[in-house]
Structure 1
Amino acid sequence: MTSAFRALICACMLAGFYLVGLVELSLVIGLIVWVSIATSPFVAKLFAGALLGAFGAMAVAAWRAMRAKPEPPQGLPVGRADAPLLWSTVEDLAREAGTRAPDEIRLVPDVNAAVTEDSRLLGLVGGRRYLYLGLPLLQAMRVDQLRSVIAHELGHYSGQHTRLGGVAYRGRLAIAGTVGGIGGANPIGWGFKAYANLYLLVDNALTRRQEHEADRTAVRVAGRTAAASALHDIPVLDAAWGFFFDSYVAAGWEYGYLPDDLFGGFAQLVAARQEEIAALREKAPPGERSKWDTHPPVAERIAAIMAAPEAPEAADPRPAGVLLTDPVAAGRAMQQTMVEVGDRTVLPWPEFTHAALTARMQRGADRILRSATRTAGVTEPGLPGILAAVAAGRSTDLAAPFFPDATRRELGARFAEPLAALLELAAVRSGVARWRHSWSAPAELLYRDGTPLELGEIADRAVAPGGLDEALRRLAALGIDPGTVTQVDRSESAIGARIIAGIANCKVDDVPHDVFALTNGFVFVADPGDADEGKRRLRELASAAPAAELAARNRFLPYEEIATARVIKEVPLRAELTLHGGTTVVVREQWSSETISKKCQDAFAEIIEGLAEETR
């Protein structure tokens, strides 16, 4: 199938989308004429205004989408002087693939590679070419694997797949923009939505075929073994990349810190966890995928690769980073140009880990201290106030919110667990202990001499009858000052929270709201807007900013502030939340409510039922 023919398919499918619009407009006009004949002119005017208004909104969305331009090239440009070996490798592979080399190579912070081309005239005339290489691939792959990845991308050039980029981009954007402007109850949009699904099915099937073609180029140029192993490794490295950000970067980022060598950290993680990465490689590659996916299943692609004739390419086990003159400098340059530091504090990795985990400890301590104020009457928001409550025999009251299933007899001793967390923070604040960073294992909290910090026994002793004085003497002997632990945040924040569910067009105390359920609280968005726009509005809010920013801009109700909760009615959902101060909040779903995903009602009900169980 030639590039021109593929361009013709895309152009015809896009033209067909607007043909559907013309047909629907004709039907609308005919319906308006019929209504004007069958009813009064006044009814006809109202009907015509509603239909043409809805159609006009969709036309505006489509026009804006068609006028939109692709995003400018992203990533860190790599010049020939910066990485001569990488450039010569790419140019050699381009000759073997029978295509023109890219005009620019850019490094990106993804486990991915891609090519684009600024083509013209529906892809019939080529333009400037860009090759995007994920820095994590250069940090974790072998040279022969990376050669295969690059050869695959160059196969998109030799197959003239990139010539369709502009047409495909505008087609998808126009369709998404038009369909996104259609309310769920608008019958005018039904034909548009059905055709949009057909367009995506055809376009995705075409893309999947192109991936197989590019794989054949990779086999011919770089060899079957390298092509299969590279394709198998990409999901593995993607999992490692996700683990790196979740386990090492996220906490510090959320609390206002940034490592000074963000991307270099991934290279160190890969080097330190080779056994775990090897175990991931032993697993079967991903199999079945949806018909809506743009790429075939990895297992299917590997099977096709292994069925192809082997090319006479020698293995090159060198780390792919040798293709860059200075991989560490490249990572630091990418961080400087692509990571928005803002007001975050930049620290070396060991200090970053210590600061991030200490901030997490403080957040946990604040929860304990706020609970103590509510349930045990602690007036001094700090560890000394907690110890005073223990001395006054209030351990049972202090523990009750954390162990709702425990008996009254058990509660006093159970408070040793949250107390130990406060003592550990006191050890850090007193300079007695510090978090030790490690690439091969989780960070450890250690004494200054490098031995593990163990304060559980002291906490147990503190809550035992008559044992507090001895516990305090042992803390003093260790140099731990309880006075260093005080409350920082008077209320819970949504830092680090995730959105679990969202329901639009609810009533909160009889006032219209959109409601999001986070991992640690509810967000109530007042004055939501048009009821027909609910799902689109939820998705835009959820994707526009992290959950913490969404909570900061709207009313945030942490779960910890809810004293009791009950479900009054399941469908549509109606729940009553009573706060510790006595205020009651009633959340009521309506029949016109829309959800961000299919299981949102169940998620909301489970959260409220869970709160009800915890507060019984």
Structure 2
Amino acid sequence: MLRAAASVLMLLGFYVIALIQAALVLALVVWIAVEGHLGAGIKLGFPLLVAVGATFVGLWRAIRTRPEPLHGLIVAPHDAPELWGLVQHLATEVGTRTPDEIRLVPEVNAAVSEDTRLLGLIGGRRRLYLGMPLLQALSVDQLRSVVAHELGHYSGQHTRLGAVAYRGRLAIGHTIGRIGPWNPVGWTFRGYARLYLLVDNAASRRQELDADRASVRVAGPDVAVSALRELPIIDAAWDFYFGRYVSWGWEAGYAPDDFFGGFGQLVKARHEELAKLRDDEPEEHRSRWDTHPSNAERIAVMRTAPRTARPVDGRPAAMLVPSIATAGFALQQAVVDVGNRQVLPWPQFTAAAATANLQRNADRVFRSLGRLTGVADPGLGTLFDLVAAGRLGELAAEFHPDATRKEAAAKFAGPMDLLFTLAAIRSGVAYWRHSWTGPVTLTDAAGAELDFAPIAALAVSPDTLEEARAALAAAGIRVEAAAIVERRATASGSDVVGAMANLKIDGLHTDLVLLDRGLVFVPGPKSTDNGKDRLRALLRSGPVEELATRFRFLPYEEIAAATVTKRTPVRAELRTHDGATVTLEERWTGEQLGESRDALLGVLDRIAERSVV
């Protein structure tokens, strides 16, 4: 209960500091007024009183706010009797009350919560959250260790403090967020906030070590260590799964029909790869600001515990839920919003995603081809005409700016291979093969892998172009099948690399969002206040591709040249392929998120280098 007492006292400390500062500000105003400068006193004291008032507002909101339960799938005892039996048994061993609810969540995590009253003095409904990926990747023994750790938070009465700690951190956020960086009142509160976090985080780290003792006592040190070491491996596998299998199709407008089942299949298929990761000792460097000790520190403490013989249960933890597949589907329905995306089985999802990605890359080539040739709807046939005319180097130079035109034409065999693959897919003679053990592969109808690189090497030269045409025809590939679809570049699939407030674009007040595919210009106010808050709110308002449709979007591929006339603050002129000019002017009062200015200069420098060649 020490953390609860500390949290309550330090929350009260916010009020005390606020009252003291309010009294000092009022005394200052009165003194200045007595000296005959009432107007100056009010002008000086008003912003200080506003900052003090922000503290009371933040504290009031924090006290009234309750943490919401994690969104997930409630598992009733009759749905998974063996899982509930395990949890009830562990609760008895740990010496605590069984949770009232078990909820599956879409995260590589396990957690507990408790609805308490009177600042944690009176307990309430308990929830145990289990990440579906943990059930799919851990053994029963390892899951026992993880659950025992979480139940250890109950036996140590750590969850009684959850609401207090949550509200304390919320109070800090509300208070600091409402006070400007240059207001002297804020300096005191920021210092106090640092002290609060130091105290609270240190208590949190002690609680984690305390919960680890429950895990070791129930599961044994070897199992506890293996479970703790397994969590970052599962986390890495989950990130890999999203990045390699889910995200590209999701961004293209598709969704897999078995979102969580796919991860389970990946874990089984890549078992040997994951095993190799287990051989590496964790290397972490934690600081006093972290809420958890490093895994290395936790493992070192675990290994000091005495070893006793225990029965081994190496079964997959998924066996604790009678139908993990059904649970996965139900969880997907509960937590995954597919929107208007087309839901497909995994093989079709992968094929649709690969084709969409292929078309997007091809469209990038076709748009440049259209600008060069003036053809409204360019395709592979248009490109062959350019090769026959001996002009491929003009197009290829845009994609290989460091090479001569002759060298660039030879290097264009790579993009040509991509276009041939698209033509083969659209012609119905090539297919994508899904795999959980490796990347998607291109095959013919019989399942044999296809490679168009040799034909692409022939197609980049006028001398061997007809030979390439004949090879494509013999393979049943129609040249006209590869054509442009997306005539205007979009921000679909883009990532945010930076954001800057209070610029002038073509003389107008503008906020700038830097994407990895272009620039988004958002009309901004004349006022330079709260620029960072405005940028954060903008980025939270929706997906970046939606921002690019709501506001002016300038893709990098449409910028023909960039001239940086000043680097601090940034002054630049952009010239697009259609002859338009965009002027960019950073203001001294501008604000940025992270190192956005450096990111912008990097983009401008690359465009400038490309335009020189």
Scaled by the length of structure 2, the TM-score of the pair is 0.96
Residues 119-518 of structure 1 aligned to structure 2 (within 5 Å): 119-518=116-515
Out of 580, 583, 588, which is 1:586 matched to? 583
State the number of aligned residues. Answer: 612
Q: Distance in 1 between matches of 2:450 and 2:140?
A: 44
Tell me, yes or no, if the aligned pair for 2:397 and 2:404 is still in contact at 8 Å: no
Contact map agreement 1:184 1:532 (CA 8 A) in 2: no
Distance (Å, rounded) in 2 between the aligned partners of 1:142 and 1:501: 42
Deviations 1:449-482 (A, max 9, x none): 2222222222222222233333222212211112
Q: Which AA in structure 2 matches 1:461?
A: L
Q: For the residues of structure 1 that align with 2:24 and 2:482, how far apart are their CA atoms?
A: 71
Q: Structure 1: how far apart are the matches of 2:196 and 2:591?
A: 26
Structure 1 gaps of 5+ residues are none
Letter in 1 for 2:326: A
Relative to structure 2, which stretch is displaced further, 18-27 or 35-44?
A: 35-44
For 1:54 and 1:553, locate their aligned partners in 2 and report how far apart those are by CA, in whole Å.
35
Matches of 2:47 and 2:357, distance apart in 1: 53
In structure 1, the residue corresponding to 2:560 is in which secondary structure?
A: strand
Candidates 602, 606, 610, aligned match of 1:610: 606
Which residue does 1:112 correspond to in 2? 109
Contact 1:222 1:311 in 2 (8 A): no
SS in structure 2 opposite 1:200?
helix
> Shift of the alpha carbon at 1:54?
4.5
Do the aligned residues in 2 keep the contact of 1:10 with 1:168 (CA within 8 Å)?
Answer: yes
CA distance 1:417–1:145, shift in 2 (3 Å):
same
Separation in structure 2 between the aligned mates of residue 76 and residue 451 of structure 1, nearest angstrom:
42
One-letter code of the match for 1:141?
L
What's the RMSD between the two structures over aligned residues? Answer: 1.8
Report what 2:78 is aligned to.
81
Q: Distance in 1 between matches of 2:554 and 2:279?
A: 45
Provide the identity percentage: 54
Q: Deviations over 1:478-535 (max 9, x none)?
A: 1111212222212222222111122222222232222121111112221257533122
Q: Which moved more, 1:34-43 or 1:184-193?
A: 34-43
**Does the CA contact (< 8 Å) of 1:287 and 1:300 recur in 2?**
no
Contact 2:241 2:266 in 1 (8 A): yes
Cα offset, 1:240, TM superposition: 0.5
C-alpha distance after superposition, 1:410-462 (max 9, x if no partner):
23333332222111101011111111100001111122222222222222222
Instruction: Output the amino acid matched with 2:604.
Output: I
Q: Is the 8 A contact 2:55 2:175 kept in 1?
A: yes
**AA aligned opposite 2:299:** I
- Secondary structure at 1:592 match in 2: strand
Instruction: For 1:3-14, list aligned pairs within 5 A.
Output: 3=1, 5-14=2-11
Q: Look up the equivalent residue of 2:454 and give its one-letter code.
A: E
Provide the C-alpha distance between the structure 2 equivalents of 1:22 and 1:512, rounded to a whole number of angstroms.
40
Does the aligned pair in 2 maintain the 1:354–1:436 contact within 8 Å? yes
Alignment of 1:539-558 (within 5 A): 539-558=536-555
Q: Which runs of 5+ in 2 are unaligned?
A: none
Query: What is the TM-score of this pair, normalised by structure 1?
Result: 0.96
The one-letter code of the counterpart of 2:84 is W
Preserved contact between residue 226 and residue 315 of structure 1 (Cα < 8 Å): no
Distance 1:220 1:485 in 2: 64
Cα–Cα, structure 1 residues 594 and 405, in superposed 2: closer, same or farther, change >3 Å? same
Asked whether the equivalents of residues 506 and 589 of structure 1 are also in contact (C-alpha less than 8 Å), the reply is yes
Aligned to 2:179, what secondary structure does the other structure show?
coil
Amino acid at match of 1:608: L
521-530 or 184-193, larger mean C-alpha shift: 521-530
**2:94 equivalent in structure 1:** 97
State the shift of 1:338 in Å: 0.8
2:568 aligns to what?
Answer: 571
Structure 2: distance between partners of 1:109 and 1:317: 23
Please give the alpha-carbon distance, in whole angstroms, between the structure 1 residues aligned to 2:373 and 2:457: 19
Taking the aligned partners of 1:391 and 1:235, their CA distance within structure 2 comes to: 54
Does the CA-based 8 Å contact 1:435-1:445 persist in structure 2? yes
How far apart are residue 51 of structure 1 and its match?
Answer: 3.6
Q: In 2, distance between residues paired with 1:528 and 1:551? A: 19
**Distance verdict in 2 for CA 1:252–1:60, change over 3 Å:** same
